[in-house]
């Protein structure tokens, strides 16, 4: 009888983690990180927005917590196919507009201002029922004007998408 009780306990112990792994997440908490030239910058999860237009244009607007009324980083992916994958800024010539801009204080920088503007948005998960995306982004933008600095912006997200 003692062995049956131990076996029963072992089976129950093995089942519990499986249920927890397959269960739906109990909450979809907004997660958003931002780094500028490798330095962590706190993102404002209230002011930041991700929009999807009727024309399937995905716009990621990541706002800095220290400038909630500012423009922050805006990434546009035209004709987003609503599927996981990596969308590169180097594909601007393919007819799909993929662009990034960044504004903070007096700094205005654009991906098109750089002769070499590597960047991408990688979508790792889409939850259509709850309208959430998960993934990461990385882009290079250059300040407009003479002697403009090159900025590398990167981060990760699990974020709701609104209809634009």
What pLDDT digit, counting tens, does each position of 78-115 carry? 888 889 999 887 654 445 667 889 999 888 999 888 88
Neighbours of 110 (CB within 10 A): 18
Query: What pLDDT is attached to residue 5?
Result: 36
Pair type for strands 162-163 and 49-52? parallel
Q: What is the pLDDT of residue 7?
A: 33
Annotated domain spans of the chain: 27-163
For 116-162, write each residue's pLDDT tens digit. 888 899 999 999 888 999 999 999 999 987 667 999 999 999 999 99
Digit-coded pLDDT (tens) for 32-50: 999 999 999 999 999 999 9
Burial of 13 (0-12, 13-18, 19+ CB in 10 A): exposed
Alpha carbons 12 and 16: distance in angstroms, whole number: 6
- At 49-83, the pLDDT tens digits run 999 999 999 999 999 999 999 999 999 988 888 89
């Amino acid at each position: 009888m003692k062995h049956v009780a131990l076996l029963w306990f072992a089976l129950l112990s093995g089942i519990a983690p499986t249920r927890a792994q397959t269960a739906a997440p109990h909450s979809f908490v907004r997660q958003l990180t931002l780094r500028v030239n490798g330095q962590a910058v706190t993102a404002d999860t209230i002011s930041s927005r991700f929009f999807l237009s009727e024309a399937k244009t995905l716009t990621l607007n990541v706002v800095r917590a220290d400038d909630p009324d500012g423009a922050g980083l805006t990434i546009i992916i035209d004709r987003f196919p609503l599927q996981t994958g990596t969308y590169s800024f180097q594909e601007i010539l393919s007819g799909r507009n993929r662009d990034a801009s960044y504004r903070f204080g007096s700094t205005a920088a654009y991906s098109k201002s750089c002769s070499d503007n590597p960047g991408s948005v990688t979508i790792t998960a889409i939850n259509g029922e709850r309208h959430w995306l998960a993934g990461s982004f990385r882009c290079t933008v250059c300040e407009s004007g003479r002697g403009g600095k090159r900025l590398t912006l990167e981060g990760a997200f699990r974020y709701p998408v609104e209809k634009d």
